[in-house]
Each structure stands twice: as C-alpha cells, then as structure tokens.
Amino acid sequence: MDLRQLRYFVAVAETRHFGRAAEGLHMAQSPLSQAIRQLESQVGATLFDRTTRRVELTAAGASLLEDARRILANVDDARRRVEQVAAGTEGVLTVGATDLAAYRLLPRMARVLARHMPGVTLRFVPGLLTAAQEDALDKRRIDLAVLRPPVVRPEVSTRTVAQERLIAALPAGHRLAGHGAVALSDLRSEDFVAYGAPGSVVDSVATQGCLDAGFLPRRRAEARDTPVLLTYVAAGAGVALLPESVRALGTESVVYADLDRELRVDLALAWRSHDGSPALARMLDVLAAHSRELESGPSASRPAVVSGAPL
C-alpha cells in the first residue's frame, strides 16, 4: 500500500464513480481501476461494490476511508511543516539576553517577530552576561544572544543594534541626587557596587571612565544580576554606573542621574557563524530590516514573558 493508491482510493470513495474520479485525478479510468484492484489484493478485502450503475463502499472500504483520510492529512501536514521549516517560517528559537536587554530590547524583538514570523516560537532566557552567552551559543543552548560586545570566540558573529549611555544609580537622599548631571570626579570618594563577573563589559567601561576622571573606583559590593545590584544601591552600599535602560526597573529608593561625560556600551546580536538554521537566518534578516524599531521603539516597563528551562 502506498500514498498514491490511497489517494486514488479516496477519490473513488468520494465521487462513487470511477470515471469522475479518473477525470479529477487527470488519468485514464483503466489504470485507476487496476490500482484499486491492486489495493484490494494488498489489504485482502473488497473495498467497493461495483455494478454497472453505481459504486458503493463496502464495510471494509468505509473503515479504510477514515484511516486513509487521516494518513493523507498527516502527510500533507508533515510536508507543509517541512516546507515552512526549510523556508524559516516555522520552528523554535532560543534567545539569550542580559538582564537589561530583557527590559529594553526583548519586548521590541518579540513584537517585530510576532508580526513577521508568527510561525516561529521564541524562548527567551534572560540574566546571562556576555561570557555566559558565548558559552551557551557554543553548547547550542541558545540560538541567538543579545549581549554587550566584544566577544572573544572567532566562531561567533555579531551585529550591533543599539548603543546606551551609562548613568549613575544613587541611593535616594544621596548628596548628588537632584542636582543635575553628576561629574564622575565627584564620585571619587564613593563606594561602588559593580557586577563583579569576569568579562563584564559594563564594569570595564565604567572603570575606564573613572580612571579617565582621575581615580580608581572603590568596590564595596558585587552582584551577578541587575536587580541584586540595585538592591545594594538602595541599601546605601554604594553607587553604580549602569546602562540607561536600568531606568525601566523603577527600583524603590534608587534615583538616577546623567553623567557629565559620554560613557557608552553597545548592545549586539550574536550567533554561531555557521549555523544552518533557516529560521535563524530569517530572524536575522527580519531584525535587520526593522533595526530602527529595535533601537528607538517604546521601552516596556516590565520584562518579556520568558518560557523554557533555565540554562
């Protein structure tokens, strides 16, 4: 029994006429009749009661018709899914991101991709610094990373999608709060709270900015993620220099102030250079075509909904 025979059988069963079925199949009636007889021989049962005036399904034929329709529908669905996956319009992609990207960029990405790639399911995994995302890409735990370059692995490609200024996060009631832009030199005597993770791009830019202002920041506390870091600031453990998207968190007892000089960090997409996923290639094309929306679209006040197990 093969798919061709099942399609012939369904055509005859639905028309109850060999001639009309042959016409719909664009074939002669004789080979159609021969194919049905071969099918009956293979299943060991008569599928049609034939007379000179009518063709009717036998009980065995009625039973086979239900299964044949289901099999053919499943085959058609499978073919359609394969075509969509090959075209990059269907599949599952896992996107890693830094904490702050989850607030700033992921909601924008989700909106763009929902419009242009509705058949692709996205799984967001936030809370990963750059080094951790590179490792996750290498181990194929994520397909796309939203990180702060530079990356060190040559097999990872990147594309910058946004730049962010660093701002000062101060405890409420701090002597510099509410007085306009903060001069980095005025933070010389302050304790600092930093990410403290190896390879933190934000920490590197902040430290270099302080050095350019004539001092080395004195670290009092370190944190692996932004909410914990802000908790330290709120508790008065120190000040922090963070990307401006941190404003979206609205942490109680923390105030933000611009700096008197431009300290910037990039935000980039990163992926395996030789990844053959059609869905990933299409995603990168869609995001490139809507880069302006990613960079300047409205920020969300809460992070995107995240699905999937943590890394």
- Please give the chain's pLDDT, 311 residues, in tens: 788 888 988 898 898 888 888 999 899 988 988 989 999 899 899 989 887 778 899 999 899 999 999 998 888 877 777 765 665 567 889 999 988 877 778 888 889 999 988 888 889 998 888 888 999 999 999 999 999 898 888 999 999 988 889 999 999 999 998 888 999 999 999 999 998 877 788 999 999 999 999 999 999 999 988 889 999 999 999 999 999 989 888 788 999 999 999 999 999 999 999 988 888 998 999 999 998 888 754 343 333 333 333 33
- Domain(s) labelled CATH 3.40.190.10 in the chain stretch across 91-161+265-296, 164-264
Q: Which residues, other chains included, contact 123 with Cβ-Cβ below 8 Å and sequence gap of 6+?
A: 92, 93, 94, 95, 306, 307, 308
pTM: 0.65
103-107-112 Cα angle (round to 5): 155
Query: How far apart, in whole angstroms, are the C-alpha atoms of residue 145 and residue 270?
Result: 5
Query: How far apart, in whole angstroms, are the C-alpha atoms of residue 193 and residue 177?
Result: 17
- Domain(s) labelled CATH 1.10.10.10 in the chain stretch across 3-87
- 3-87 adopts what CATH topology? Arc Repressor Mutant, subunit A (1.10.10)
| Helix (H) or strand (E) segment spanning residue 66 | helix 59-87
Q: Do residues 12 and 40 touch, judged by C-beta distance below 8 A? A: no
Both structure tokens of 211: 């050095």
Say which CATH superfamily domain 91-161+265-296 falls into: Periplasmic binding protein-like II (3.40.190.10)
Backbone phi and psi for residue 190, each to the nearest 5 degrees, phi listed first: -85, 150
State the CATH architecture for 164-264. Answer: 3-Layer(aba) Sandwich (3.40)
